[in-house]
Structure 1
Amino acid sequence: MSAFWENAFVASAARYSVVILCMILFLAIFELVTSYKNWQEIKQGNFAVAMATGGKVFGIANVFRFSIQHNDTILESVSWGAFGFLLLLIGYFIFEFLTPTYKIDEEIGNDNRAVGFLSMVLSIGLSFIIGASII
């Protein structure tokens, strides 16, 4: 049975499946902390929400990319990926805190594309910093 799990195709499929499940969970958590409903807003054409959500998807995937690259087991990869997600989430709250003159969530919910773009770039940028720190 160990030969089965050591097969490169099986290992890749296992990591892929676990990351997809983690991404669904992490996006659901992001959905809980935002004042708008991501998928409903995207369905209605809110481009700012689409950019912000796309940045979160890219950020999570990029953190997992580094996590998989630097760890041997799925458990280690998931642990570092979850830690990276937590740091992305903290970064989101810091972004909200550093803009006291307006609420990020409200601006994105109102389709302020400049704020949505900045949120996307912030998620992507932080994912590279977080990923580079994964050992």
Structure 2
Amino acid sequence: MEVLLENEWILTIANYSVTILMLVVFLTIFETVTSYSNWEEIKRGNIAVAMATGGKIFGVANIFASSIQQSDSLLMMLLWGVVGFVLLLFSYFIFEFLMPGFKVDEEIGNDNRAVGLLSLLLSVGLSFVIGAGIKA
């Protein structure tokens, strides 16, 4: 297997495949922690949910991009990506906890675009911080 991963083409395909698979897993986890159905809300045109979900997608992809750049093996890339995702998920809970006077999850489910935009920017911004901290 190591010989195969020495080929840049195969390594790129492997990194891409692992990232896509983990993105699906992580989106499934995000789906379970929100009170609304992301994909049903997006299908109905809920822009706030689309922004929040897009921020999560960008955030996870950005974390995996950093883990690919900093890691010397597929396993280390995967491990750092998982650590980064856990931190991003933790950030979502902190965001929900720290907002005074309203519940972030409910506001996004109700298509409050200001909260959706803030959620998007939080995910994107913190993904850069998390990615910068990855050192393999």
How would you bin the TM-score normalised by the shorter chain?
A: over 0.9
Gap change, CA 1:17 and 1:98, over 3 Å in 2: same
**Shift, 1:100, TM fit:** 3.2
Q: What RMSD, in angstroms, separates the aligned Cα atoms of the two structures?
A: 1.0
Aligned-residue offset at 1:7: 1.0
- The percentage of aligned residue pairs carrying the same residue is 62
Quote the residue 2:26 is aligned against: 26
User: Equivalent residues in 2 for 1:19-98 (5 A)?
Assistant: 19-98=19-98
Name the TM-score, length of structure 1 as normaliser: 0.97
Correspondence 1:16 to 2:31: no
Shift, 1:6, TM fit:
1.4
**Partner Cα separation in structure 2 for residue 65 and residue 96 of structure 1:** 26
Q: Normalising by the residue count of structure 2, what TM-score does the alignment of the two structures yield?
A: 0.96
Q: CA deviation at 1:5?
A: 2.7
Q: Deviations over 1:62-118 (max 9, x none)?
A: 000110000011110010000000000000000000013100010000000000000
Which whole-Å CA distance do the structure 2 matches of 1:46 and 1:83 have between them? 30
**What does residue 116 of structure 2 align with?**
116
Q: 1:2 to 1:92 in 2, by over 3 A?
A: closer
**Aligned-partner residue type, residue 111 of structure 1:** D
Q: Using a 3 Å threshold, how does the CA distance of structure 1 residues 92 and 2 change in structure 2: closer, same or farther?
A: closer
Q: Distance in 1 between matches of 2:5 and 2:133?
A: 28
Q: Which amino acid aligns with 1:117?
A: L
